[in-house]
Structure formats: structure tokens, C-alpha cells
Amino acid sequence: MFLILLAVFLALVYKYSTRNHDYWLKKGVKHDQPVPFFGNSIRQYLQRTSITDIITEKYWKYSDERIIGYYSSVEPVLIIRDPDLIKHVLVTDFACFYQRGLNRFTDYVEPLFKNLFFADGDLWKLLRQRMTPAFSSGKLKAMFSLIVEKAEQLQKVAEVCAKSGKEVDVRDMMARYTTDFIGAVAFGIEADSLNDENGAFRQLGKDIFKVTKRDIVIVILKIMFPEMLKKVHYIKPEIEERIVNLMKSIMSERSYKPSGRNDFIDLLLELKGQGKIVGESIEHKQPDGSAKRAEVEFDDLVMAAQIYVFFAAGFETSSLATSYTLHQLAFHPEVQSKCQDEIDAVLKTYDNKLCYDAVREMKYLEMAFKEAMRMYPPLGFLIRKCTQKYTLPGTDVTIDAGTKMVVPLQALHMDEKYFERPEEFLPERFDGRDRDLNKHVYMPFGEGPRACIGERLGQMQSLAGLAAVLHKFSVAPSTNTLRKPITDPAAAIIQSIKGGLPLKLLVRKKAM
């Protein structure tokens, strides 16, 4: 009897763990055979291969297909290879794909996910509406003095490293620079990560992106048993507590009023002072088809969520992009020299002082930065979730509401169909001809209404950091430098490099 019950139990478990694994077969979409519980993601969950690398493998394996089926555990996911279909998903038919799908429920969102990156529906739309003015060019220019301050501190740290003669992990160095910048701009505090690599703020950044066994188990179980684990948070409780307590402490110090620093906290306090966010619903319609009224309370937890994503997403993406740019310049000294000549010439007209206008004039440096993000975009892929039944244009495939769509940025950026000699570092491809590039192929900051709201701020602080380093130092490969860095297999949406990016820093004679 026991054996019979055990057999029945195992059969039920098997059926439950494979309950959607015929979805793409029925749709006639090519895909790899999924395995129980894990789908096509077993290597990701075991931290053997990053999710970006797995998606990239599928992109090349099914190179003749416009779409590819994939299973994240029991969830069907569609990988979009075709730029025209990508345009439909991200822009043309955005009304069907306004969700990112990282939240599974509309009636419960964990506190720190109530931000522009993770939020969906009306919460996302109203936050975007309220937050957009905070990233205007005027606000960016007002913040730039904080960027310059951190860039100058970066130069001092780089000088110590260069004079030591030891190799430098520029991935870590640029992460500390970006952490200090985020600390100043977002929190209004001196993180001092550049001088103390084990400081509390730097450690917070490391802890946010450290993937533990607990995180993997939570992800799988929440996919398998969503309702049962609805209120079990993805974000570690200790991270949540540290962010919220930090935010409340800073707000309290300012008596919940703008301080005049022109930092992100001041901007949030100004937005909070405007009261509830009210606007047209993207989710709900009146009987006549017009949008219903929607509102969101801009409370402490919502503000904490914006600070969380500003810090987490901002420092990790920018530090990866800048350090990978330095890595490429180390292997391309002729490109590095052109960047340095431009930086020297521009800064000479501004008394050798970094400023907003100077950085805007560094066009070739920007081209090199763009090329580095083409070769290794911080976000390896974009993700959207379908909100209704939808037939993909030009196909006979109709997907159901709730189906996730993935745009494989890493693969698209390295496809010779769109970029001549994609393995080569060629900044000149962005000398204006990038206007001719299919804009739905090169998308390091995303595309459409859900494109990164902080694109200009992230790019400006990244270029300022690069200019600060390259004005006084050159970079070169060191003993432990890998020509092609290895992606950390534990990385999720934001890519990460295993073992860092060790380089030599050399003091420029001209700059002395």
C-alpha cells in the first residue's frame, strides 16, 4: 500500500512540475526539451551558466527562427530574435506588453519592488509620470558637481594604485567610484568606498547582488507555488531592513524637507510634497473605453523602493560599463590614445576641470563607451510580460496573457547581421552611422516607454569617471588579465564578470 501511495504521490509531483511543458509544442514553436521542475533553466539554478549565456546559446542554436520557446521552471518564455517583432513588443504594441513581469501579483508587491524597474501597471505608469521630471537635463546639470567631486577622488585613488605598480581590479575600483556617487546623489551621504573598500555602503552593494542558495530556492518555489509563497520576498529581509532604516534616518535628519543639496533625496521629498500621484489607468477602462482614474500614495516605502533601485541598478550597471570600457581600451592602445587626446583637448578649454559641458563635448569617448556596451551590455536581456492574448505579427503563433517575452540583447549586439565584425572593438561604428543601425537591435538602456529613466545620468557619471581616469592614467593588460572575461554564472538580469577585471594603471607623463 505504501509503495502504491508513494507511486501516486511521485506521479502527481511529476505532473505538477511539468504542467506547462507542452505549451510551445502545441504552439508549434521550436524549443529544447524541458526537464521536470527546472524546465530549460537547470544550469542557471545550479549556477553553472548565467541566464544571459543560456539565452544567447538558444539564439544561435535556432538561428533561422524569429522566435524560440523556453521554459523557466514551469513558465513558458518566448525569446524574440526578430527586430520587427522586438519593435512590436517594446514600442508599437506596448499596451499589450507594459508589464515587466518580475512581480507575479497585482494585489501584493513586496515593498522594495514598488519601483520603476520592478513595478507594473498603474503603479509603474504613475511612478514614471511623477519621476520623469527628476531626470531632466536641468536636474542632471544641478547634480553634476557631485559627480565631479567623486571623479576627483577617483583620480587620487587611481594615482595610489598606479604608483604601487600592482595590478588593479578596475571592476572593483569603478564600483567603488559609482557607489560613492550613488551615496552622494541618492542618499546625500559620504560613503567613502573609494578609500574603504570594505565600508558599509560598499558591502551593501555587494550583498544586494550576492546570489545565495536561499535566493535560488525562493525563485524556484515561487514559480512552482506562487499563491502559497506570495508574501515570501525575493529581497533578503536584512537588505530590506537596511535600506528602509537608512532612508528613514536620512529623511528624519532633513525633517522631511528638501535640504538644498539637489540630490535624489531632495527630489523625492519634493515629489512627496506634491501628494498622491493621480492619472489615467493603464490597466482599467470605463465602459466607454476611456481610462479609469488611478492613484498611488507616494509614501515612505515607495520612496525607499526608488532609492533601492537607484542604488542597486545604478551602481552595478554603470560600474560594469565603465570598467569594461577600460578593459577594451587596455587592449586597443590606439583607441585609448584617441580618447586621451580628445579628453586633453576638451579639458584644456575648461582650465583642466571636469564639468557638465566638457563631458558633453567628449564625443569619441562616448563612442568608445557605446561600443563597450554593445559588446557587453550590463543588461544581458530585456523582459516583458504579455497582458492579453496576442498574435505575433507575421506568424500564426498566438500567446496567452501572462506569457513572458525576452529580448536577447547580448546576442543581438554580437550578431554580424547587424554589426560588421562584431567581435572587434570599433568605436567608429557610432560616429553618426549608428543612426542607421536598427534601433531595435542596439538597446543597452532598453527601448520604448519602459526604457531606462536614468540613461542620461548613468551615461554622464560613467563618462566623467572614464575621463577622470584617462586624463591622468593609461590602462594596459596585466599578468592576470583575460582577453575575454568570463561571465559570472550566478549573474541574473544584470551581467557580472567572474574574477573582476585586473589591469595595470600607468601614470601619463603628459599629465604630470
- Which parts of 274-432 fold into alpha helices (H)? 300-331, 333-348, 356-360, 363-375, 409-413
Contact between 335 and 368 under an 8 Å Cβ cutoff? The reply is yes
**Residue ranges of the binding site:** 452
Residue 16 is assigned to a structural domain of this protein:
no
In a domain, 10, yes or no: no
**Which range of residues forms the domain containing residue 343?**
39-507
Q: What is the model's pLDDT at position 142?
A: 81
- Which stretches of the chain score pLDDT less than 50? 511-512
Residue 325 lies in a domain: yes
Q: Among residues 42, 31, 98, 119, which one has the least CA distance to residue 67?
A: 31
pLDDT at residue 421, as a whole number: 95
Note whether residue 421 is domain-resident: yes
Q: Tell me, what's the pLDDT at 24? A: 98
- Total domain count, the chain: 1
What are the contacts of 425-428 at 24+ separation with CB within 8 A?
425/328, 425/331, 425/332, 425/335, 425/371, 425/372, 425/375, 426/371, 427/335, 427/364, 427/367, 427/368, 427/370, 427/371, 428/367
Q: How far apart are CA 9 and CA 4, in angstroms?
A: 9
Q: Is residue 18 part of a domain?
A: no
> 401 and 387 in contact (C-beta within 8 Å)?
yes
pTM: 0.91
- Here the cell at position 223 is 514559480
- Kindly state whether residue 359 falls inside one of the protein's structural domains: yes
**Helix, strand, coil abundance in the chain, percent, nearest 5:** 50, 10, 35
The per-residue pLDDT for 230 is 79
The pLDDT value given to residue 437? 61
In a domain, residue 4? The reply is no
CA distance 382 to 100: 9
* Dihedral angle of Cα 99, 372, 174, 350, to the nearest 10 degrees: -110
CATH classification at residue 465: 1.10.630.10
Write the DSSP string, 21-85.
Answer: TTHHHHHT--BPPPBTTTBT-HHHHTTSS-HHHHHHHHHHHTTT-SEEEEEETTEEEEEE--HHH
Q: Which residues are annotated as a binding site for heme?
A: 452
The pLDDT assigned to 512 comes to 43
Confirm whether 26 is domain-assigned: no
